[in-house]
Amino acid sequence: DDYRWPSPLYDTLEQLLYEGRRADGSSLASLVHPCRARPDTNASIAAEWLRFAFHDMATHDIADGSGGLDGSIAYELSRAENFGVAFPSTLSDFEVYPNKYVSRADIIAIGAVFAVSTCSGPIIPFRGGRIDAWQAGPSGVPEPQQDLQTHKDMFTRQGFTTSEMIQLTACGHTMGGVRSTDFPAMVPPGPDTLLPVFHDFDTTTQFDNVVVTQYLDGTTQNPLVVDSNKTLTSDLRIFSADNNDTMHSLSSATAFASTCQNILERMINVVPHGVTLTNEITLLPAKVHDVQLTFEKGIFVFKAAFRLLQTQSSPINKQRTVKLLWCDRYGKNQNCNGNTRTSVPAATIEEDPGLSPVTQAQGYSFINYNFVVPIDAAGSISNFWFEVDEKDGKGPTSYKNGGDGYPVVQDQVLFVPTLSKAALVKNTTLTRRGGGAPITGLVKQYTLVAAVRSTNASNSRIYLNALDVAISGFPAPFNTTIDLQRNSSLPSIGGYDFYSGVLADTGFQLTVDINRVEADGTTYTDDFKQTTDLDNTPYVAPTNVTSTGKSSSSKSPAWRALDNLHTTQLVAGAVLVVGAVMNSLL
Ligand code: HEM
């Protein structure tokens, strides 16, 4: 495998798929998992999500490359082919999840993967990289009153043969059913007309072959097969389109699962021409995440989380020790030429095995080792790695990112969440796209703070890009750039000055990239920072640091004094003092 950290696109997609949540913890998977019904209705959320993906895809034209899974369905809900309450509910389920690296179309695809696996179906391999259309596209989703030839032509246009049309429809119509609120002639409403009555496609709510076996043995109650109005029995026409050959081939549970896995994978990978999908996003056995060099309570800290897999069948090894190790970026210990720093986790977090249906179905859960360590600003940090010792006599295993460790790409400009904040304010400035009246109501006003390494900073431009694509109704992304100004109310610490800027946003997931451009054009970026917690970030105190390594004899007395300080453990409270001493030496 050629994965190397950081790979923000891969890392972000991997987290959403296998942890079920976006970076700030909001869980997409928990909306549907475990195979849930929508509160206050009888609807299967999994069925709604799977159908949503089909309807977004179904407009594809393989000849001209238009349409496909591109999120255009958000703008197509007024069409008869997309009618019913399920579509707006699903759209709002997905609303808060897209961001810089995950398109709404990728979320629709992951939604289909979750939907199938949470109801005990196969795991559909997932690739990311779909691109959102941000506007309505062509129409062309099948409707039940259309004749067989029309349906065959539509699936041919999408790139599927008759047999594949049968497979896809059977794999779709194994969950959920027809609802009275949408088709009252097929499904008579109950006494409460607002509460839909469902006639399910088969007698199970699971993703299974029962839809096929009940069709073949004549016991099916699928309204699209048995309704007395033969105009609406599209499943009967489709399932029997090749003398039931395809339906017979789907009758065993294993054949159904593997055929559906393949054909649904193809379905979610139907994208407009010109869109290139990533490689399959597979579960990383050891993953680094939530890495941040920053200031907390006046201390320069490095934070990193290390995620390991845990098989659900075996207990966590309580003897295991996990260490973070790192090298200084500057000074005599640069690149661990002298000392190597090390520390133990500030917190160990066992994750709920039900975090993502896909991970759970593979028999895994996660355990996270979260590190928070004080960093001597003068020495800073260049790269880090982990050592895991199971205490089984085999010695520690190193996790070095396939080589030289995990890089701390830069320390020149750093987001400082804990000095940043967000407040709800009355809107005065934001207007609608394309002009018109200002948006009424409250907007979130952010004050965002960056730490800037003081070296030559007066010649640099410090600015941030703020992006929010999770906006109600998806009118357009919020995308803005603001320059940050030196904030004199925040005194400099350890060779860093603080800069800040203010912006307002109506969306649900603002992320910022903080940039520093030097006079010679060199650019440093602290990429894709979340703004959910900011000054409410739960505080975890830094752990002690141990320094190991041989001391060279050819050092100045001042360096020896520092060595002593380091080997006797650099504690959180002492870091600023040390930083000051070393600054004066460098
Ligand atoms: C000619 C092809 C198809 C036609 C005419 C068709 C038609 C329908 C109709 C009329 C309903 C009932 C909707 C309602 O009551 O609001 C339905 C439900 C559903 N369809 Fe299809 N469908 C087709 C193909 C597919 C395919 C290919 C998939 C997915 C792979 C799919 C997935 C679903 C699901 C999961 C439901 C249940 C939704 C729920 O319970 O909320 N359908 N379909």
For atom 42 of ligand 1, which residue has the closest CA? Answer: 172
Check whether 568 has a pLDDT greater than 80: no
Ligand 1 atom closest to Cα of residue 178: 15
CA of 172 to the centre of ligand 1 (A): 7
Arithmetic mean of pLDDT over the chain = 92
Find the helix packing angle between 162-172 and 253-268, rounded to 10°.
Answer: 100
Ligand 1 centroid distance, CA of 20 (Å): 25
| pLDDT of 426 | 81
Omega of the bond leading into 353 within 30 degrees of 0 (cis) = no
Residue 576: predicted pLDDT:
36
**Dihedral pair phi/psi, residue 504, rounded to 5°:** -125, 145
pLDDT tens profile 194-242: 889 999 999 999 999 999 999 999 999 999 999 999 999 999 999 999 9
In the numeric block, which tokens belong to residue 503? 């912006």
Query: Closest by alpha carbon to 73, among 90, 86, 56?
Result: 56
* pLDDT score at 458: 81
State the Cα torsion 215-217-219-223 to the nearest 10°.
20
Contact yes or no for 302/408 (Cβ under 8 A): yes
Nearest atom of ligand 1 to the alpha carbon of 165: 27
For residue 474, the model assigns a pLDDT of 85
Write down the pLDDT at residue 549. Answer: 86
Helix axes 104-118, 8-18, angle to 10 degrees: 30
Nearest to 399 by CA among 388, 412, 414: 388
CB 60 within 8 A of CB 154: no
> Residue 173: CB within 6 Å of ligand 1?
yes
pLDDT at 584 over 70: no
* CATH placement of domain 8-268: 1.10.520.10
Domain parsing of the chain, residue ranges? 8-268, 286-410+546-585, 421-530
Going from the Cα of 117 to the center of ligand 1, the distance in angstroms, rounded, reads 18
Task: Measure the CA–CA gap between 167 and 157, rounded to whole angstroms.
Answer: 16
Residue at token pair 């999408």:
158
DSSP label of 356: -
Distances (CA, A) of 163 to 146, 152, 212, 255: 18, 10, 14, 14
Rounded Cα distance between 323 and 302, Å, is 14
By C-alpha distance, which of 242, 231, 276 is closest to 155?
242
CB 370 within 8 A of CB 346: yes
Question: Residue 243 class from Cβ within 10 Å (0-12 exposed, 13-18 middle, 19+ buried)?
Answer: exposed
Q: Residue 141: in which H helix or E strand, if any? A: none
Closest by Cα among 552, 551, 553 to 566: 551
Ligand 1 pocket, residue 179 CB under 6 Å: yes
pLDDT for 586 equals: 31
Rounded Cα distance, 333 and 325, in Å: 13
| 578 compared with 384, residue with greater pLDDT | 384
Write out pLDDT tens, residues 395-425: 999 999 999 999 999 999 999 999 999 999 8
Amino acid 440: pLDDT:
61
Q: Would you place residue 439 in the very low, low, confident or very high pLDDT band (cuts 50, 70, 90)?
A: low
Has residue 111 got a pLDDT over 70? yes
Task: Specify the ligand 1 atom closest to the Cα of 201.
Answer: 37
Rounded CA separation 438/441 (Å): 9
Q: What share of the chain is helix, strand, coil (3-state, %, to 5)?
A: 25, 25, 45
**Tokens standing for 263?**
């054909």
CA distances to 229, 444, 548 from 185, rounded to whole Å, are 9, 46, 77
Q: How far is CA 135 from CA 1, 87, 480, in A?
A: 37, 16, 21
Shortest-distance atom of ligand 1 to CA 54 = 29
Residue 352: Cβ within 10 Å count: 12
Q: Return d(Cα 175, Cα 266) in angstroms, integer.
A: 19
φ, ψ of residue 168 to 5 degrees: the values are: -60, -40
CA of 51 to the centre of ligand 1 (A): 6
477 neighbors 514 (Cβ within 8 angstroms): no
The pair of structure tokens assigned to 12 is 């972000």
What pLDDT does residue 583 have? Answer: 34
Q: What count of other Cβ atoms lies within 10 Å of the Cβ of residue 291?
A: 18
Q: Is pLDDT above 50 for 563?
A: no
What's the pTM?
A: 0.92
What is 421-530's CATH number, 2.60.40, 4.10.860, 3.50.50, 2.10.25?
A: 2.60.40
**Distance from the alpha carbon of residue 454 to the mean position of ligand 1, in angstroms:** 60
Q: Which of the 8 DSSP states describes residue 399?
A: E
Complex ipTM value = 0.99
Residues in the chain: 586
- pLDDT, tens digit, 9 for 90 and up, residues 73-84: 999 999 999 999
290 pLDDT above the threshold of 90: yes
Antiparallel, parallel or unpaired: β 478-483 and 461-468: antiparallel
Ligand 1 pocket: which of 81, 113, 173 to mutate (most atoms <8 Å of CB)?
173
Q: 106 Cβ partners below 8 Å, 6+ apart?
A: 13, 98, 128, 129, 130
Atom of ligand 1 nearest to the CA of 175: 35
Q: In this structure, which amino acid lies at residue 492?
A: S
151 lines ligand 1 (CB under 6 A): yes
Whether the pLDDT of residue 432 is over 60: the answer is no
Q: How far is the CA of 249 from the centre of ligand 1 (A)?
A: 21
